[in-house]
Amino acid sequence: MYVHTPTPSQQDQQARQAKQFKAPELLRSAFFISDGTAITAETLGRSLLSQFGNVKFDVKIIPYVDAPELAHEAVKRINETHRLSGLKPLVFDTIVSDEIRTIINGADATNLDIYEGLITRIANEIGETPDPHAGMAHGQVDSDDYKARIDAVHFALDNDDGARTNHYDGADIILVGLSRSGKTPTSLYLALQFGIRAANYPLTEDDLDSSNLPKVLQPYRHKLFGLTIDTERLVRIRQERKAGSRYASLAQCQEEQRAIQAIYTAQKIPNLNVSEMSVEEIATRILQITGLARRIG
């Protein structure tokens, strides 16, 4: 395999990460280990660790542990971490092969073997033997899901930020909101995660003069969904972008907020305050509120 020399920007990042983890006290290590991408192990593990909001963990991700020698290497890393820190690492793993799981479970750690028992219970209930390879096509480069996803990503790119307004017939949803209210990342997440074709259109000063919709949006009122954000957060985000500008002033933001709420009310546009939400939550709440169906998954 090609041996990669870290680039300057990677060295920066590694230094940043090293600094981040070099806290004065020793941190508890958590390993997320899988025979695949480790996204499932990581998603679940982080969700469990977030239940201990006051504790900081030193997280290590080991994907693609799909051979016994790789499992033995992982065990060495876990045991070494235990030895150096004196703290028993937490090991979250989602590994299908019994042989490999047994090796991982032999590490000197608190082993949180996620799949343990679950696959067997499902097999018993549905009366089928596990056959992981039968379903592998899902999501691959030329599968239908992949195509739907890529089409949705390109749709979101082409219809981002009001760049083009003549493709709204093909949109599943059109996000509207003030500048910097989270429309672009939400559109892309809807595309990547759910294959949904989301356009987005920023309502700017010109559009906020009256409670009418901009002409280009009028035929699509039923597809509109509004994102809102608390005024003080909006000011902070805009200040970071253009400090001291009228655009980022409290008065301007307050006026835009008042105007956009008037539009949402007059036009009966469903809307959501996303101030306390991650991109994932914004996207899943939109599906829940609108009833919009996914195109993939």
Residues 241-260 that bind a second copy (CB under 8 A): none
The least CB distance from residue 164 to a second copy, in Å, is 14
Task: Report the DSSP beta bridge partners of residue 225.
Answer: 175
Q: Is 216 in the site for a second copy (CB under 8 A)?
A: no
> Is 178 assigned a ligand-binding role in the annotation?
yes
The least CB distance from residue 151 to a second copy, in Å, is 10
For 66, residues 6+ apart whose C-beta sits below 8 A from its C-beta are 35, 36, 97, 100
CA–CA gap between residue 90 and residue 65 (Å, rounded): 17
Q: What are phi and psi of 240, to 5 degrees?
A: -65, -30
Q: Is 49 in the site for a second copy (CB under 8 A)?
A: yes
The least CB distance from residue 258 to a second copy, in Å, is 20
Q: Which stretch binds a second copy (CB under 8 A): 57-65, 68-76, 205-213, 255-263?
A: 57-65
> Is 244 assigned a ligand-binding role in the annotation?
no
The least CB distance from residue 266 to a second copy, in Å, is 13
Residue with tokens 């991982």: 104
Nearer to a second copy, 2 or 209 (CB): 2
CA–CA gap between residue 258 and residue 284 (Å, rounded): 26
CA–CA gap between residue 231 and residue 237 (Å, rounded): 10
Q: Which stretch binds a second copy (CB under 8 A): 75-83, 99-107, 204-212, 282-290?
A: 282-290
Q: Beta-carbon neighbour count of residue 89 at 10 Å?
A: 23
Q: Is 270 in the site for a second copy (CB under 8 A)?
A: yes
Q: Is 141 in the site for a second copy (CB under 8 A)?
A: yes
| Tokens describing residue 255 | 């006026």
CA–CA gap between residue 243 and residue 246 (Å, rounded): 9
> Is 5 assigned a ligand-binding role in the annotation?
no
Q: Is 268 in the site for a second copy (CB under 8 A)?
A: yes
Length of the chain: 297
Q: Is 183 in the site for a second copy (CB under 8 A)?
A: no
Pattern 71-110, binding to a second copy, x per CB under 8 A? -----------------x-x---x-x-------------x
Q: Which stretch binds a second copy (CB under 8 A): 69-77, 205-213, 252-260, 279-287?
A: 279-287
Q: Which stretch binds a second copy (CB under 8 A): 69-77, 128-136, 199-207, 255-263?
A: 128-136
Q: Is 202 in the site for a second copy (CB under 8 A)?
A: no
Cβ atoms of 223 and 170 within 8 Å: the answer is: no
Nearer to a second copy, 114 or 209 (CB): 114
Cβ atoms of 245 and 297 within 8 Å: the answer is: no
Quick one: which of 26, 42, 22, 25 has its CA closest to 34? Answer: 42
For 90, residues 6+ apart whose C-beta sits below 8 A from its C-beta are 28, 29, 30, 31, 45, 49, 57, 109, 110, 112
| Tokens describing residue 148 | 């739907």
Q: Which stretch binds a second copy (CB under 8 A): 66-74, 98-106, 252-260, 288-296?
A: 288-296
The least CB distance from residue 150 to a second copy, in Å, is 6
List residues forming the annotated binding site for ADP: 177-184
